[in-house]
Amino acid sequence: MKESVEEKKYAPVGVFDSGVGGLTVAREIMRQLPEESIIYFGDTARVPYGSKSKETIIRYSKQIIHFLESMGVKAIVVACNTASAFALEELRPEMKMPIIGVVKPGAKAAAKTTQNGRIGVIGTEGTVGSQIYTEMIHRHNPKAQILGKACPLFVPLVEEGWLKDPVTIEVAKRYLASFQESGIDTLILGCTHYPLLRSAIQDIMGSSVNLVNPAYETAQGLRRLLEGHQIANDGKAGPAKYQFYVSDAAEKFKNFANSILPCEIKEAQLIHIEE
Amino acid sequence: MKESVEEKKYAPVGVFDSGVGGLTVAREIMRQLPEESIIYFGDTARVPYGSKSKETIIRYSKQIIHFLESMGVKAIVVACNTASAFALEELRPEMKMPIIGVVKPGAKAAAKTTQNGRIGVIGTEGTVGSQIYTEMIHRHNPKAQILGKACPLFVPLVEEGWLKDPVTIEVAKRYLASFQESGIDTLILGCTHYPLLRSAIQDIMGSSVNLVNPAYETAQGLRRLLEGHQIANDGKAGPAKYQFYVSDAAEKFKNFANSILPCEIKEAQLIHIEE
């Protein structure tokens, strides 16, 4: 038993997303937990998840978790808000290993951050429609008022690379207008692509509104989870390794990853996830 | 043999796309070939196709064609430029029935329309990157000069419903700027979503540029194909029936379809296409 825990310690953490967005979470894990190896999966053949149904997202998430299990990961991070919102609670009973999503940590961080109890949430149609952030925030602060807004064009704008473009700012102004006069003091970036639009969003919301990026709290939550299960990597077996798998367009993924990650990735491997 | 041809006459035509875009082609078939029944499939669980690889699009297209065959269609229309560009020639040898895409008819129409031999093509990354329009136009006019431009934000803007929005016009201006001073007199709307942005695109390009919507020529091509195989529906077995299948989010699809089709559709049925 002791040996198996020792071995597990050095196993990688599995991180998955619909595509490249979850790299903002992987980046935060690399920064906060530099001893941990990561196997990242991006479902680029079926991206985006945000406009698809709960049933479909659960099916896709199960396939990915089976793949990550087969690769010997010790824990799984669902680095996608839509998959966290739709699939996490459905998946947990079947899981043999610890699993953590981005919604719960993000909700907790927002509940801690707000002073006036008014919190905005932006995300995909799926995430916002699920009302999951409202439910999770209310566990910490039952009186909090939560205002959600789906921003379906943000993901394609990020993927087009128009991060600080006037068009992106105009789209953001349109979406964020619903928060005007709402008096929110905290805004959750409830989609893992959105931290890449952070500066545009902050400019529009003004400096009095705190932006919450769930990636930061997710990495903290992962640390506690690994320590709780006594499977945190102590770094004694050598430096962390990062591996990347995708279901399509590996070269394009690699280029995007290299533009946002602190390390250079040499390869993203293609697999057929539905098989 | 004669009986089987008689029966086949009354079978539906299969039409497929990655999602709702192909409805602009279905709409044209309904208008020009009102006797023909249609079975439409929209791959809404894996939309969009435009940013995905050739191998993935071929795999998805094969699955869909097997489904349409199992539904007893007599011919297939690939109502998606990306699938037409990547998969049509790969699929043809395996096909037991006539199949037609949107690229060849669109290329032929553009070659007929242009006066000065300078043609623009807008479409997804996949379609434009494949250079298929260039290849097909050169069969009709080897000296034509073709200028392509991928417009990845057009599909999400259409799906957001921002058809005549200032943001859409700004994005269109940006993408279409590459055609300024190119002297094109013809522009192919090389993605089945784009006819829904026709008026914004025409305003920017000016009235001297002819917009070619391949849907029109595709319906004409389908008519010739059915007549050539002696399987055109003569209408004697009753009025045309239209059936719709999707791989996800049936209700949303139905609402979109009802906003652009001339008839009301009562139901879109959900199927698991990868099985």
Q: Assess whether pLDDT exceeds 50 at residue B74.
A: yes
Shortest Cα–Cα distance, B223 to chain A (Å): 34
Q: Per the CB < 8 Å rule, is B170 touching A171?
A: no
Radius of gyration of chain B (CA): 18
Question: So what's the pLDDT on residue B5?
Answer: 67
Q: Is residue B251 less than 8 Å (CB to CB) from chain A?
A: no
Contact map slice: A 53-92 vs B, CB within 8 A: 53, 55-56
Q: Assess whether pLDDT exceeds 80 at residue A11.
A: yes
Q: Quick one: CA torsion of B19, B20, B26, B31, rounded to 10 degrees?
A: 180
Contact map slice: B 88-147 vs A, CB within 8 A: none
Chain A residues closer than 8 Å to B249 by CB = 51-53, 56
**Please, which residues have CB within 8 angstroms of residue A84's CB and are 6 or more apart in sequence?**
A78, A101, A102, A103, A104, A127, A132
User: Shortest CB distance from A45 goes to which of B56, B157, B170?
Assistant: B56
Q: What is the C-alpha separation between A86 and B32, in angstroms, rounded?
A: 43
- Cβ–Cβ under 8 Å, residues A13 and A78: no
User: Shortest CB distance from B167 goes to which of A45, A47, A170?
Assistant: A170
Chain B residues closer than 8 Å to A45 by CB = 46, 52, 56
The dihedral sign for the CA sequence A187, A190, A192, A197: negative
Active-site residue set of A: 80, 191
DSSP for chain A, written as a single string: -HHHHHHHHTSPEEEEESSSTTHHHHHHHHHH-TT--EEEEE-TTT---TTS-HHHHHHHHHHHHHHHHHTT-SEEEE--HHHHHHHHHHHGGG-SS-EEESHHHHHHHHHHH-SSSEEEEEE-HHHHHHTHHHHHHHHH-TT-EEEEEE-TTHHHHHHHT-TT-HHHHHHHHHHHGGGTTS--SEEEE-STTGGGGHHHHHHHH-TTSEEE-HHHHHHHHHHHHHHHTT----STT-S--EEEEESS-HHHHHHHHHHHSSS-----EE--TT-
Give the tens place of pLDDT for each residue, A15-65. 999 999 999 999 999 999 999 999 999 999 999 999 999 999 999 999 999
Q: Per the CB < 8 Å rule, is B51 touching A170?
A: no
Mean model confidence pLDDT for chain A: 95
Share of chain B above pLDDT 70, in %: 98
Which of B61, B60, B83, B67 lies closest to B218, judged by CA? B83
Q: What is the DSSP letter of B177?
A: G
Q: What is the C-alpha separation between B187 and A89, in angstroms, rounded?
A: 49
Q: Assess whether pLDDT exceeds 50 at residue A1.
A: no
Q: Sorting pLDDT into bands at 50, 70 and 90, what band is A259? A: very high
Q: Assess whether pLDDT exceeds 60 at residue B97.
A: yes
Query: Mean pLDDT throughout B142-160?
Result: 95
Alpha helices in chain B (DSSP H): 2-9, 23-32, 54-70, 81-91, 103-113, 125-130, 132-140, 154-160, 166-176, 198-205, 214-228, 250-260
Question: So what's the pLDDT on residue B123?
Answer: 97
In the block, which residue shows the tokens 């002696």?
A: B230
Give the tens place of pLDDT for each residue, A152-193. 999 999 988 899 999 999 999 999 999 988 999 999 999 999
- The per-residue b/e assignment along A21-30, b for 16 or more CB within 10 angstroms, e otherwise, is bbbbbbbbbb
Q: How far is CA A226 from CA A223, A243, B92, in A?
A: 5, 20, 53
Q: How far is CA A182 from CA A62, A116, A177, A244, in A?
A: 38, 11, 10, 41
- Count of beta carbons in the 10 Å neighbourhood of residue A16: 26
User: Shortest CB distance from A248 goes to which of B52, B156, B174?
Assistant: B52
User: Shortest CB distance from A248 goes to which of B56, B170, B247?
Assistant: B56
Here the tokens at position A245 are 């798998």
Write the single-letter amino acid at A209.
Answer: V
Share of chain B above pLDDT 90, in %: 94
Q: Sorting pLDDT into bands at 50, 70 and 90, what band is B1? A: very low
Shortest Cα–Cα distance, B8 to chain A (Å): 34
Q: What is the C-alpha separation between B272 and B275, in angstroms, rounded?
A: 6
Catalytic residue (choose from B80, B99, B121, B232) = B80
Q: Per the CB < 8 Å rule, is B152 touching A152?
A: no
How many residues comprise chain B? 275
Give the tens place of pLDDT for each residue, B23-72. 999 999 999 999 999 999 999 999 999 999 999 999 999 999 999 999 99
User: Shortest CB distance from B156 goes to which of A55, A156, A166?
Assistant: A156
Catalytic residue (choose from B188, B191, B200, B219) = B191
The dihedral sign for the CA sequence B121, B123, B126, B129: positive
Shortest Cα–Cα distance, B200 to chain A (Å): 16
Mutate one of B61, B160, B163 to test the A interface: name it (highest A CB count within 10 A).
Answer: B160
Mutate one of B162, B167, B193, B253 to test the A interface: name it (highest A CB count within 10 A).
Answer: B167
- The per-residue b/e assignment along A142-154, b for 16 or more CB within 10 angstroms, e otherwise, is eebbbbbbbbbbb
Report the chain B residue with the minimal C-alpha distance to residue A170: B167
Query: Mean pLDDT throughout B226-232?
Result: 97
Q: Sorting pLDDT into bands at 50, 70 and 90, what band is A5? A: low
A99-101/A38-42 β-pairing: unpaired
Q: Sorting pLDDT into bands at 50, 70 and 90, what band is B119? A: very high
Give the tens place of pLDDT for each residue, A219-244. 999 999 999 999 999 999 999 999 99
Chain B residues closer than 8 Å to A255 by CB = none
Q: How far is CA B219 from CA A211, B15, B127, B240, in A?
A: 51, 11, 20, 15
Q: What is the C-alpha separation between B22 and B50, in angstroms, rounded?
A: 13
Write the single-letter amino acid at A23.
Answer: L
- Reported ipTM: 0.90
- Cβ–Cβ under 8 Å, residues A21 and A193: yes
Q: Per the CB < 8 Å rule, is B248 touching A53?
A: yes
Q: Assess whether pLDDT exceeds 70 at residue A2.
A: no
Q: What is the C-alpha separation between B154 and A11, in angstroms, rounded?
A: 43
Chain B residues closer than 8 Å to A46 by CB = 45-46
Chain B residues closer than 8 Å to A153 by CB = 153, 156-157, 160
**Please, which residues have CB within 8 angstroms of residue A265's CB and are 6 or more apart in sequence?**
A242, A244, A254, A257, A258
Question: So what's the pLDDT on residue A161?
Answer: 87
Q: What is the C-alpha separation between B165 and B158, in angstroms, rounded?
A: 10
Chain A residues closer than 8 Å to B159 by CB = 51, 152
**Residue scoring higher pLDDT (A1 or A227):** A227
User: Shortest CB distance from B167 goes to which of A45, A167, A274?
Assistant: A167
Q: Is residue A247 less than 8 Å (CB to CB) from chain B?
A: yes
Chain B residues closer than 8 Å to A152 by CB = 156, 159-160
**Please, which residues have CB within 8 angstroms of residue A151's CB and are 6 or more apart in sequence?**
A122, A123, A124, A171, A172, A175, A191, A194
Write the single-letter amino acid at B271.
Answer: I
Question: So what's the pLDDT on residue A180?
Answer: 87
Shortest Cα–Cα distance, B52 to chain A (Å): 6
Give the tens place of pLDDT for each residue, B249-263. 999 999 999 999 999
